[in-house]
Amino acid sequence: MSTATGALRPFTGVEVGSSLPELAIPLTRTLIVATALATRDFQDVHHDPALAVERGSKDVFMNILTTNGLVGRFVTDWAGPQASLRRIAIRLGAPNYPGDVLTLTGEVISNEAGVVTVKVRGVNSIGDHVTGTVTVARAAGGPQ
């Protein structure tokens, strides 16, 4: 696999089975509301507590676009500045509510020719919020 700028650089020293450093993200009401609005998701369940409760939720909850972004950030922060996202495939579970903490963990499941796939899990106090995989590549050139 190559990029428009050339060959991919291997992820050296990254073993299949390696764990990524855990990332804990406090789930504030501001984070949940602001990221829903930033992703242009104006569904009331993401910003209006009374309407969220009326629709059967205990409070506002995080949208999938925010979760997708946080999962991508988790992996690219670990992979470094030369990494680019190739694929994110996630499944949502328990909602992320204000006042909780989302803890992301990951494990390298593949490392071939400059492309790494990480199995990701994000949990909160209710259970698994997100599970899935993220594939990243690293272009040749630049810092490791």
- Where are the domains positioned within the chain? 6-138
Mean pLDDT estimate for the chain: 91
Name the CATH superfamily, with its identifier, for domain 6-138: Hotdog Thioesterase (3.10.129.10)
Residue 57 above 60 pLDDT? yes
Residue 1 above 50 pLDDT? no
Residue 6 above 70 pLDDT? no
Residue 41 above 90 pLDDT? no
Query: Average pLDDT for residues 80-109, to the nearest whole number?
Result: 96
In this prediction the pTM is 0.89
| CA dihedral over 36, 42, 45, 50, signed as positive or negative | positive
